[in-house]
Structure 1
């Protein structure tokens, strides 16, 4: 029996591509990738809607290393879409033998994304993957040259589609036809496409050669400030963010509180200098209910231990915040 591996991103297009091939009586196994910048949650949800078995592949470290200096450059933000797609296809191609699969499929649509899904980019991805003759793009196959799978009869080309461009009318009609009702927006879930996250990531790799997973995950949380050294000051914006950041803190981090007033949780990640401590205290004062006081007493200490130190500061001014904020 013919078998294919489907790269499932968690979006509608990749799910439809898999379903389209399943409709030809071909067995399909879903492959989803997990990295520091995107996870499998949407892919798992989408796969269930079409009864697609799904394998999750964690390639976080290699993906991050590629992200720092991609061969084909970044997109608008920190997203190396061409290199990322090629890497995914290389991984999937290397799994063909393991799953006894004949080829792999993706949900890419010609010209849907002007930079990463034009004809030249699609061809680069095929070439860079190392498995060019094993890649089928079912949603736009009929506006591309026939693949080996179509020519040798593994796949019926007449049952593939000719979608091109940014309109999603056909995809939405197919989703309704196949009962796929719970799908995310086309924007996707990759953090690298988000402008503020990208700014923070560029800052991180500028100061730290080999960031840890923790360093990367906390980029999602709060307001970030840096005075120029390796340590960084983070101020949470909500109670939910305060709970979230606590998952990543350790006893080497420094935490700050205003004893008399409620406010933001402020922490220094990394070894704190005297200047870092003073500014972090000023940030804590600024984002507390005592922000209009002339000066405030801020207590601080290593996270998880007693806050046995204190400093008296004026709340940070807007000019100071703007000078040191990241993103």
Structure 2
């Protein structure tokens, strides 16, 4: 029986492409790559809707190296889409023999994304993956040259589509027709496409060559400040955000609380200088109910231990916040 490996991002397009091929009587196995910047939750949910199995492949460390220095550069934010797609194709190609599969399918649509899905970019991915002749893009196949799978009869080209451009009308019509519901927005699962996260990641990589999982996860929450190179100051925006930050804190981190006023949870990640401690105290004051006070008393100490040290500071003003805030 003919078998295809489908790259499943968790979005709608890859599921529609898989459904098109499955409906030709071809066995389809979903492959989802997970990294520090995107996971498999949406892919698991979406594959269940069309009844195909899913294999999750963790390539976090390899992907991080590509993010640091992509051959074809980053997109609008920190997303190295061309390099990322080529890497996924190459890794999927290595799985063809393991799963006794004949070819690979993706949900890419010609010209849907101006930088990463134009004809030139698709050809770059095809070439650099090393398995170009084994890649089929069912949603836009009819506006691309026939692949060997179509020419040798493994796939019926007439049952494929010729979608091109940024409109998603056809995809949404197909989703309704096939009963595919509750799908995420395009690119919604990749943190590297998010402007704020990308600013923080770029700044982190300037100071830390090999960031830890904790450092990468903390980029998702709060306001971030850097006074000295050795540490990061984080201030929560909401109570729920504070709860998320707490999951990644250790006894070596330093926490701050304004003594007589409620406010943001402020922490220092790393080894702080006196300058860091003073500014973190001022940040705690700025994002507390005592922000308009002339002076406030701030307690601080190692996280999970009693906050037994104190500073009297004036809450940070706009100029100070602007000077040190990352985003």
- Using the size of structure 2 for normalisation, the TM-score is 0.99
Shift of 1:227: 0.9
Instruction: Measure the CA separation in 1 of the matches of 2:188 and 2:297.
Output: 44
Shift of 1:209: 1.1
Alignment-derived partner of residue 18 in structure 2: 18
State whether residues 9 and 43 of structure 1, in contact with CA within 8 Å, keep that contact through their aligned partners in structure 2: yes
State whether residues 254 and 267 of structure 2, in contact with CA within 8 Å, keep that contact through their aligned partners in structure 1: yes
Q: How does 1:1-327 map to 2 (within 5 A)?
A: 1-327=1-327
Instruction: Measure the CA separation in 1 of the matches of 2:228 and 2:129.
Output: 39
Deviations 1:57-95 (A, max 9, x none): 111111011101100001111110000001111111100
State whether residues 228 and 276 of structure 2, in contact with CA within 8 Å, keep that contact through their aligned partners in structure 1: no
State whether residues 258 and 297 of structure 2, in contact with CA within 8 Å, keep that contact through their aligned partners in structure 1: yes
Q: Which moved more, 1:7-16 or 1:177-186?
A: 177-186
Instruction: Measure the CA separation in 2 of the matches of 1:214 and 1:130.
Output: 34
State whether residues 7 and 107 of structure 1, in contact with CA within 8 Å, keep that contact through their aligned partners in structure 2: yes
Deviations 1:6-41 (A, max 9, x none): 000011100000000000000000001111111111
Instruction: Measure the CA separation in 2 of the matches of 1:251 and 1:188.
Output: 34
Residue 110 of structure 1: SS of its match in structure 2?
Answer: coil
State whether residues 102 and 134 of structure 2, in contact with CA within 8 Å, keep that contact through their aligned partners in structure 1: yes
Shift of 1:324: 0.4
Instruction: Measure the CA separation in 2 of the matches of 1:13 and 1:258.
Output: 49
Deviations 1:247-288 (A, max 9, x none): 111111100011211110000000010000000000001101
Gaps of 5+ in 2: none
State whether residues 301 and 307 of structure 2, in contact with CA within 8 Å, keep that contact through their aligned partners in structure 1: yes
Shift of 1:127: 0.8
State whether residues 253 and 268 of structure 1, in contact with CA within 8 Å, keep that contact through their aligned partners in structure 2: yes
Instruction: Measure the CA separation in 2 of the matches of 1:236 and 1:169.
Output: 39
Instruction: Measure the CA separation in 2 of the matches of 1:187 and 1:2.
Output: 30
Instruction: Measure the CA separation in 1 of the matches of 2:68 and 2:164.
Output: 31
Gaps of 5+ in 1: none
- Using the size of structure 1 for normalisation, the TM-score is 0.99
4+ residue runs of structure 1 moved beyond 6 angstroms?
none
State whether residues 208 and 230 of structure 1, in contact with CA within 8 Å, keep that contact through their aligned partners in structure 2: no
Shift of 1:205: 0.5
- How many residue pairs get aligned? The number is 327
State whether residues 85 and 125 of structure 1, in contact with CA within 8 Å, keep that contact through their aligned partners in structure 2: yes
Residue 305 of structure 1: SS of its match in structure 2?
Answer: coil
